[in-house]
Structures are given as structure tokens and as C-alpha cells.
Amino acid sequence: MAKNTSLYFRIVEGRNLPAKDVSGTSDPYCIVKVDNEVVARTATVWKNLNPFWGEEYTLHLPMGFHSLSFHVMDEDTIGHDDVIGKITLSKEAIGSQSKGLDSWLNLTRVDPDDEVQGEIHLSLELLKDTEKISLRCQVIEARDLAPRDISGTSDPFARVIFNNHSAETSIIKKTRFPHWGETLELELDPEELSEEGTVTVEVWDWDMVGKNDFLGKVEIPFACLHKTPLLEGWFRLLPLGNNEVDAGGKLGALRLKVRLVEDRILPSVYYQPLIDLLVESVISPTEVEDSSALTMLEEVTTVESRQDVAMTLVKIYLGQGLVVPFLDYLNTREVNHTTDPNTLFRSNSLASKAMEQFMKAVGMLYLHEVLKPIINRIFDEKKYIELDPCKIDLNRTRRISFKGAVSEAEVRDSSVEMLQGYLTSIIESIVGSVDQCPPVMRVAFKQLHKRVEEQFAEPENEDVKYLAISGFFFLRFFAPAILTPKLFQLRDQHADTRTSRTLLLLAKALQSVGNLGLQLGHGKEQWMAPLHPIILRSVASVKDFLDKLIDIDHDIVSEVPQRAVFMPSVTVKEGYLHKHKAEGPQLLSRFAFKKRYFWLTSETLSYAKTPDWQVRSSIPIQCVCAVERVDENAFQQQNVMQVITQDNDGQLHTMYIQCKNVNELNQWLSAIRKVSIYNERMLPSFHPGAHRSGKWTCCLQADRAVTGCSRTHSAVTLGDWSDPLDPDVETQTIYKQLLQGRDKLRKKHLEIPDADQTSSNKEQISSDIHPDGAECNVQLLKPGQSVAARLLAVIEDLEQAHATFQRREKEDATSVILNP
């Protein structure tokens, strides 16, 4: 039974941070680590002791994790950044909060002895003979040790301790992946055999000057060696155990939202009955108003979980090739239940959320193509724009003319002119993007248009069919992306205050465009009036765009099951990176990386000198067998990754690529891992260094072909719209939601009131003859009851399957302990 772990976290804000700069303030940012590996870095909030970040991430961690930590730093232009404090959350602490953690937490001081990482490979054996008793410890190797020296490495040695006995290995210099292969032996007295002591193996970084640095320890109860005379394996290094001291709020606090979702995934065959019920709901519904597995799922979906359920369903039906019938089913029910067209899709129903998540799943690349150039221009220009008289700050605007001080009227006129220019560019880009819009989106909108037109056929409701589409297209897709570009991956960082205000005004204007200008002048923000003419002029072109958008043949959308939300030829990610020049004489590291433009699809990773360059070099994705980080000391460069490929002869080839920052590095690592996740020849280990000067910089081994010294992380990815479709994981999510609402479903759909029990039974009992001639009485259930009975039976079968597999896992674990 596979294990699936997803970690959701949001760094909301900080408060009362200490001042680290001479100006009496700080420039704080957060570094997020999972088991001491950096997975995210927030933007820097300049000159602020109460910063707001509002950045959120999802991590898929199939191998699990031990701790999540948030380090708050103060960015310095010159010299090293200052450490403000940290918060560390263990996996157990996060998992104990069933609804997730959402609270203010005080920062604690950073103790180097607690900043440990890595594992050590040991073999311990208790030897007893007539002449002597000894404890033999074979210290084989270690991996991923913390870097303690300025070079980004350490000089590690190991020490074995039991009672007053100790022994040390040799020191291996300049490596985080030492290979000792040494055997240490401690002679014990007979009376020590009965002691309940602990065998401790410590790892230290040797320093010529000053005290040695602690790298971690392993503690093994001596009693274990009585039960298991030979104990061998990889052991995680632990900190000294100093309790983190809460500084009483003197270091400030962070508001964090963290949620852990851990699932054990059954084999596919167990989920098929539930998928069959979900598919049946949309491909052969008897009547739209009849109950189905989908409607029952909506009944037990809470407001908090509705968005997650909607996205999960979208992925399930995308995988089945049935996303258009699925959306049509939900939208038809929603339309039929709406009597006032002004309230159509205004609630956060499952239909509304499903359409919203569907657009994000299949339309994100389209949205990038349409909006990214304009968003980049707005960020680059950083214009001061303001229309609200109450918010105009003459001190914040640049001089518009050389005639003297700038007046409010000049600021307003300049702002109107710039907003009109930006808004015109946005509208023109959208209405000219019919051919760029994914066909599946167009067909879904065509079906929606048809259902709304059938329900609201009156002449006075002529615009409703347009509003239904534009409400999703403009109000729930394009406008939110303009308002917060980072959440839609249009930018790496959040906008500053000035740019954020410009984006807000543009988002408001685009919402009015999506409403076809019908509500202009009715709100409180009358200062937006200068933009009303351009909004009203755009209505005709928007309607024409929507008409063209739905002018598409339904058959153009494939109904073949798929593994990804995008087509193979679609560019998933692109941009400038720096590729290591492997050929020719060895260059200094800074000159060995050349700027190249990269494109990633689900079929190839290609690159060229510029985006317009005619000749491209390509790597087939099917040849990728690992995508991993590279240690900083390999090239004396940060944010380097490696793409390892295997040719037809089985030879491995490595391309080293440098990204501009840690977030870009994580995004590219995640993107390439996702498109190669189904490759069959993925490596279990790799070298985080480079083979230079006749040896690996990581483990110091000379053989270029020696097995990798660190484990690969091929399934560790950032969660976003490009996640590969995984029907088992998605169906497990739906099962959990149904399991929580099982009692509610049983009570509503299967339990018959006592007063109606007798008459109901009389009506529903009939006689039937089986093929073998036996007569039996069958209780006939109503359609809704029949579906509910089947759905509840599927839930119970899955519950029993989980219990069976968990029992087997416990039995296997017990067997391993008893028979090592």
C-alpha cells in the first residue's frame, strides 16, 4: 500500500520583529526548510518590523518528512544576512491538528547544535566469548551532513560512546558524504552487560582552531543489542536535544497556517467501483434532478473542503476524458435550480468551484500567454497610479512636469491615462486570444451557454448567457490573476505597494468589463467613473469574443483517458537559465555557465541561445532518470541543479543548470520531475557534487561510475495546476470526504420513517424467480435509494480494505522485529 504525504503551509505575516539595521528597522524574509532542505523563500519586505507575506505552498512528499522549519532573516545588501529567529514544527505536532494549524507562534533563537541533518550507516554487534566481551561498531559512511565550514563542506569524524568507553574514526576532510569503512571496538566488563545504558554515536566537524562543531547523534538502547546481536542500517542524525527556548516574544512572532494530509493509497482495483459510480453520474444520468453519487458527495462536502473536492473531481474526470460532461451535469443542475438570473453562479456551490478549478487546471498556460507580457510591463514601470481622492499622496508621485508642485488633478489625469493604456492592452489581449484558448475550455463554455440560454430564453434575459461565461472567465480567472499575479505564477514575488494598487484598480475595471458594464455608477466608488467610457466601449468586443469562443465543434475535445492536464506539445515551463559548459578546457566556475533559453514540454527539455534562435538542442524526457540539486561547493555557485539522462547504451550523462534563486530552482526541479514521473529507469541514488580533478566533490570517490552517495527525490514536487493526474490519490480524497458524511447519507437516503414503514414495505416487496428456479423476495428501492445503497456499500468496502492492509502492515512490521 503506497503512502502519499502532502504538506500545505502559508506564511501569513510577522509581528514585533527586532530591528537589525542601524536605521532601527529590518528587511525580513522567510526561508522554509523541510528536514533542513530549503523548499521556499518568501519575498523581502523592506523596512518593516510587522511584515505581511501571504505566501502559500504545497509540497508532495511521498517519502514523508520529520520537521518543517521557518527561519526569519534580515536581508543585508553588504555582508551576510542576519538571523532573526526560527520556528520548528515536528511532523507529529502538525499531524495532531486534524484541521491544521492556524496561529501565532513565537520565534526562538537558532542554536547551531540543533541545525543537524543527514544519516549515518552503522553496523553494531555485541560479541561475547570466553576471553572478552566487546561492542563492535562498524562506521561505514554518512550522507547529507550539515555544512559547517565556509567552503560549504565539513571535516567529519565519528565517535562511539558507551558508559566510560569511547573510540573515534579518522577525520575525512572537505566532504558532507564521508566514507569511513572503519571498525571501532569497545571492550566491556561483564557487569556492564546488565546495564540499561545507551550506545551513542556522535558525528563532529573537526576544526583546527576553536571547538569542533556538532553534526548530529544516534542513540541506540543497549537492550536492543541483547535482542538483536547484529544491528545494521541507516540511522537519522538527531540534535543534541537542547529544548528550544521561547524568547518570550522578544524575537517576534509569525502567523502560520500549516496542514498535513497523509493517506495510504490502496491498489487501483479497490477504487474502481467508486470511479464507476462517479462516471455513471455524468454519462448516464436518468434525470438531472435524480440523486447521484455526485449530488450525494455535494451534500456531505463542507464549505471549507469544497474547493479541494472540486479540484479533485476535475482531475478525476480529466483523467477519464469526461470533464466536459461532468461540468455540464453540475452546471445544468445549478441553472435549473436558479430562478433569478442575477444570482446565477454567485454562490460557492460545487458547480461554481468546479468551473473555477477547471479553468486553473487546463487554462493556466493560456492565461500566462495572454497576461504575462502586460503584467511584466506593469511591474517594470512601477508607475504611481491613484484615482481615489482620499488616497492620493502627492509626496509619493514623481514630478510630472517641471512647472512646480504636482496637483491632485494632474495625478488623477495621469493615472487615468496610464490605466486606460493598461486596460486597453489587457482587453485587446483577451479578446484576441480565441485561438489560444484550450479547446476543452471552449467546449465547456459552449455547453454552459446552451444550458443558460435554454433556462432564460426571455428577451429581457438576452445578456444572461454572456454573463454566465464572462462571470467565470473575467471575474474568477483573469481578474484574480491580475490582482495577485504570484498566486497564478505570473511573477516570482508579490507586488510592492505601488504596483499592487495599480493591479487592484485594473482588476476592478476588468470585473466591470466582465459584468458587461451593467453595474457601472451604482457603487460607492464613483471616482472610477473616468474608466467607465472605455469599459462601455469594450462591451461589444467582449460579446463578440464570447460568441467566437463558443463557436467550436464538440468533437474536437478528446474523451480518451489521460495522465496530464496539458497536451504533450504544450510548453509547461520556459525561461532563461545558465547551462554549464562541459566541453573544452576547465574554466573558472563563473565563466563555465552560459546563458541559454530553456523550454520544457512533457516530451522534451530543449534549449537555445535565445527564444528566437533557429537551432535547438533537445533531451527526450523519457531518457531522464534523475533531477536533483547540486551542492554549492561543486562549482562554488548557488541554486544549481542537474538533469541526469541515460542513453540507449545505458551510459549516464549529466547536464548542470543554474537558476537565479532558490524559488526558481524548486520550480524547475518540480516541473521536470512531474513530466518524468512515469519514467521506468529512475535512479535510486545520485551524486550531489560534480566529478572534477579526478574525483567527486561530494564523496571524494575517484571512480566516475561509482554508485551515488545520496538518495534521489524524484517524487518530491511542488503542488500546483501542473500536478500529474493520479486517479488513485484523487479517489482516496473523495472516499475520505464520503466517509466523514456516511452517517448523514445513510440517515437521509436509506432510513425510512416509522409511520411509512409498513406501507412502504408493502409497495416495495415483489417476487422474483432466479435462473435456478428458486423464488425470493426482493425489496425494490427507489432510484436515489439504490444509488445511496451502492455508494455506502463502496465506502464500507474501501474502509474494510484499508483496515485489512493496515493489519497486514502491522503484522509485517512485527515479523521484522521478531525475525531481523
Q: Is the pLDDT of residue 179 over 60?
A: yes
Compute the mean pLDDT over every residue in the chain, rounded to the nearest whole number: 87
Range of the domain at 524: 350-550
Is there a contact between 11 and 17 (Cβ–Cβ < 8 Å)? no
Minimal CA–CA distance to 530: which of 413, 400, 423? 413
pLDDT, mean of residues 711-735 = 88
Q: What percent of the chain stands above pLDDT 70?
A: 89
Distances (CA, A) of 815 to 18, 74, 143, 220, 224: 54, 51, 29, 20, 16
225 shares a domain with 192: yes
159 shares a domain with 71: no
pTM: 0.82
96 shares a domain with 127: no
134 shares a domain with 90: no
Confidence label for 332 from pLDDT (cuts 50, 70 and 90): very high
Q: What percent of the chain stands above pLDDT 90?
A: 59
504 shares a domain with 365: yes
pLDDT of residue 317: 94
Number of domains, the chain: 4
53 shares a domain with 123: no
User: Does residue 399 lie in a domain region?
Assistant: yes
515 shares a domain with 600: no
79 shares a domain with 55: yes
User: Does residue 756 lie in a domain region?
Assistant: no
Task: Specify the DSSP class assigned to residue 614.
Answer: S
Q: If DSSP codes are grouped into helix, strand and coil, which group holds residue 637? A: coil
76 shares a domain with 31: yes
Over the stretch 585-605, which tens digit does the pLDDT of each residue have? 455 555 689 999 999 998 999
Residue corresponding to grid cell 485587446: 428
Cα separation, 688 vs 709, whole angstroms:
8
Q: Is the pLDDT of residue 557 over 60?
A: yes
Q: If DSSP codes are grouped into helix, strand and coil, which group holds residue 777? A: strand
Confidence label for 765 from pLDDT (cuts 50, 70 and 90): very low
Lowest mean pLDDT among 234-248, 579-593, 711-725, 768-782: 768-782
User: Does residue 708 lie in a domain region?
Assistant: yes
User: Does residue 180 lie in a domain region?
Assistant: yes
Q: If DSSP codes are grouped into helix, strand and coil, which group holds residue 170? A: coil
Q: Name beta bridge partners: 355.
A: none
User: Does residue 564 lie in a domain region?
Assistant: no
User: Does residue 808 lie in a domain region?
Assistant: no
User: Does residue 267 lie in a domain region?
Assistant: no
Residue 609 belongs to domain with CATH number? 2.30.29.30
User: Does residue 566 lie in a domain region?
Assistant: no
Confidence label for 244 from pLDDT (cuts 50, 70 and 90): low
Cα separation, 467 vs 316, whole angstroms:
28
512 shares a domain with 431: yes
Cα separation, 49 vs 26, whole angstroms:
6
CA-angle at 174, arms to 178 and 161, nearest 5°: 50
Cα separation, 605 vs 252, whole angstroms:
44
406 shares a domain with 358: yes
487 shares a domain with 437: yes
Strands of 770-816, DSSP E? 775-779
Residue 201 belongs to domain with CATH number? 2.60.40.150
Residue 508 belongs to domain with CATH number? 1.10.506.10
Q: If DSSP codes are grouped into helix, strand and coil, which group holds residue 630? A: strand
